[in-house]
Chains A and B, each alone.
Chain A
């Protein structure tokens, strides 16, 4: 799903990249800028958090003609007399003028680095209203914003992310340069799709999706039964060879069917008893006590 998002955001879409202290989402943001420039879109960047050089590092020169950076980094609050762009200018009218000034007929993609700066200095409802009006207005085609989720209250983060049509939450991955992205995509029909992917970003700002993690691991169908041979002071367990010997052992009075019939119906060659009574034996089947001398 990450690759689909990189290939294009639908018109009127708002993509929010959520990051935290442990992993910075800025490289993913730069990948989105690079992908938009490759698609020959006009890109306007509001640069608050880092300097322009740091943000555009790695973006190739031929495409940077379509890239317009509004550098708010040196003076975002207007403390000097001539700020290039101040956070107070984050309003629909000012932003629309800014984008239209570039005098390109195509609507542009607006990239905000980062939305946290704006949220610290403007009320969250106002910011949400501005974002929503920007999407509906014609000047901006799509908005991509970076948000530091751990710098704000959960309610603020939740409200802003609720507006988003796509949300990517990045976190550090298992290995050094990998990261895990939890993607939520809300389509216009109201359907919500979620996915989790591992990715890494190469030097030239392309995103390599490494694996898709299964959404839910199947719940342990093997129930854990209490193991009676655990926690004893003596050993009740069997080794492999002992287990084999046990399987082979036949018990003394457990007969198989063949053995049973052989015993009950003795065939030829089995032992027979021959009785020859001598003089002292009184072989009288009717009276067993005949030989008693009473």
Chain B
């Protein structure tokens, strides 16, 4: 959990704004450090976290979270964290074995045009399951869905439209119905093209998700090039803010990722410069 980011977003583990869809996007950069932030943030706020880790193994997230002061293994044992390890689950679909039941959530790998309905059903069943407290189990807060990352589904053959439908349904179920939150990471590799004419592809997915989200954290490299002390810039864009009136608000910060966290500062105020 990065304390500076909490103050920028005006959020704290004790008071979590419900019903938010936070979109973390990056362009030719790596915004996965923000996913680690949100993972530790929501675990600390005692929410039930459903993590779809499609690109890294559980051990990777566990190691990073250890440095941020949160133990994923413990959270999983206590039932607070439901971790779907995409890499392992996909093996059960790609290399079916007699004794191993096929994971239903990843069955889009078998037939991509079918879409992500089963993945949504999986998410919904995990989120609904948090409502019922079993004997001796702890009560957790509203469900939070984290997806790292959504763009990898495009490279697995899923249509951008199907991914947008999936995020819409998850938002309807998790954010609106159960008053939980949702964080998704989407990545773009190319330059921003003005004349993008296609409906498929990462650009269309990014635009569609930006329309759906309520808060967008867009990570990019510095426009002036590589710098050792400043790793990039984050543009924080609030789309809907209750009580502030109907207008969007944008703020630009620069960041540096450390061993045990990341620091955020307004442009030009890096400690290396001042």
Contact = CB atoms under 8 A, between A and B. Distances in A.
Instruction: Indicate, yes or no, whether A interacts with B.
Output: yes
B6 interface: no
Given A151-B207, A154-B197, A51 B176 contact: yes
A13 interface: no
Interface in B199-220: 199, 204, 207-208, 210-212
A177 B247 contact: yes
B172 A203 contact: no
Contacts of B169: 75, 77, 79
Contact of A74 (B164, B177, B248): B177
B199 A152 contact: yes
A258 B168 CA distance: 92
B66 interface: no
A24 B176 contact: no
Nearest to B216: A21
Contact of B246 (A21, A27, A75): A27
A283 interface: no
A124 B204 CA distance: 17
A24 B248 contact: yes
Contact of A153 (B173, B199, B208, B247): B199
Interface centre among B161, B199, B239, B246 (most CB of A within 10 A): B246
A184 to B, nearest CB: 21
Contacts of A24: 211, 239, 248
A63 interface: no
Contacts of B247: 176-177, 200
Contacts of A107: none
A54 B173 CA distance: 15
Interface string B119-153: 01000000000000000000000000000000000
A120 interface: yes
A148 B211 contact: yes
B176 A21 contact: no
Contacts of A153: 197-199
Contacts of A116: 211
A23 B246 CA distance: 10
A202 B245 CA distance: 7
A73 interface: yes
B120 to A, nearest CB: 7
A79 B239 contact: no
A201 interface: yes
B261 to A, nearest CB: 30
Interface residues of A, number: 31
Interface string A145-188: 00010111110000000000000000010001100000000000
Contacts of B245: 177, 202-203
Question: Which secondary structure characterizes the binding site on chain B?
Answer: helix
Given A76-B168, A79-B169, A153-B199, A176 B249 contact: yes
Contacts of B246: 27, 177, 201, 203
Nearest to A27: B246
A172 B165 contact: no
A151 B197 contact: no
A172 B249 CA distance: 11
B197 A21 contact: no
Contacts of B240: 54
A21 B172 contact: no
A21 B168 CA distance: 16
Contact of B120 (A27, A79, A151): A79
B199 A21 contact: no
Nearest to B211: A148
Interface string B162-185: 001100110011001100000000
B186 to A, nearest CB: 13
B256 interface: no
B117 interface: yes
Contacts of B161: 120-121
Contacts of A76: 168
Interface centre among A116, A120, A148, A152 (most CB of B within 10 A): A120
A43 B185 CA distance: 38
Given A21-B211, A73-B176, A120-B164, A79 B117 contact: yes
A21 to B, nearest CB: 5
A223 B204 CA distance: 44
- Counting from the closest, the 5 A-B pairs by CB-CB distance are A177-B247, A27-B246, A21-B210, A51-B176, A74-B172
6 contacts: A21-B207, A23-B248, A27-B246, A121-B161, A148-B208, A203-B245
